[in-house]
Amino acid sequence: PSGQSRPFVTRKVSLSKVRWTPDGRRITYLAKRFDDTHKSVYAIAIDGGESRRVVGYETAISDYAFSPDGERVAFLAKEKRDKAYETAKKQGYNAKVYEEEPRSTRLWFGELEDGLVPKDTKPTAVALEGSVSTLTFSPSGGTLAISIAPTPSIDDHYMKRQVHLFDVETKALGGKLETQGKIRTARFSPSGDKIAMIASADLNDPS
């Protein structure tokens, strides 16, 4: 290392979930930039240049993961608000009532071309019961480990989430890691035959 730092994104923008692409050629992140209405996934080459939007959606993307072969991106985003809410908002309604209108977070897939989801291609949603909050690919890319809560309520998010194995090709859930109480993101071992995760010892464990 040269000991010198190098700025990549210098404009006034809030970044999160900064990661490498599988081939190591780009750095990716979540941000709301340019004409975005919501947070999207962006990528910038490590040898410089401008950031390019990998994928965006009609609501903010909260998390994302690239398949190991770099051919698809999985991401999480909430359902759209219903038309009645949007109409009321345009008429001046701006009250915020806690959990008045719970919206589940869904799992989506986008097929990549040259590292981007083409503008004329819409990401596809996966029909799953509950609200998804974390995701990570297995080393083979054939399985996702995802956390699902029965509802989007904050209590269920903290206390009732379970890690499920999701088959990327069949779009079906497989095994479930039975835990009680709070959990964090699960990770596959490099060989892909084991999963490590941080979880509560029991239902009363605070963290």
Distance CA 123, CA 188 (A): 25
> What is the CA angle 193-194-196, rounded to 5?
155
At residue 83, φ and ψ (nearest 5 deg) are -65, -30
Give me the pLDDT at residue 1, please.
Answer: 59
Q: Give percent of the chain above pLDDT 90.
A: 70
pLDDT digits (tens, 9 = 90+) for 33-49: 988 999 999 999 998 78
**Measured between alpha carbons, how far is residue 117 from residues 73, 132, 200 in Å?**
8, 22, 38
Give the Cβ contact number of residue 88 at 10 Å. 13
Residues with Cβ within 8 Å of 50's Cβ and at least 6 positions away in sequence, in order, are 44
pLDDT digits (tens, 9 = 90+) for 104-161: 999 999 999 999 999 889 999 999 999 999 999 999 999 999 999 999 999 999 999 9
Distance CA 100, CA 161 (A): 21
Q: Give percent of the chain above pLDDT 70.
A: 98
Give me the pLDDT at residue 28, please.
Answer: 97
Distance CA 205, CA 58 (A): 37
**Helix, strand, or coil (residue 65):** strand
As given in the structure block, the two tokens for residue 172 are 């079906």
Give the Cβ contact number of residue 182 at 10 Å. 17
Per-residue pLDDT, averaged over 84-91, amounts to 73
pLDDT over threshold 70, residue 71: yes
Helices within the chain (DSSP H only): 83-90, 154-159
Q: For residue 46, is it left (φ>0), alpha (ψ between -120 and 50) or beta? A: alpha
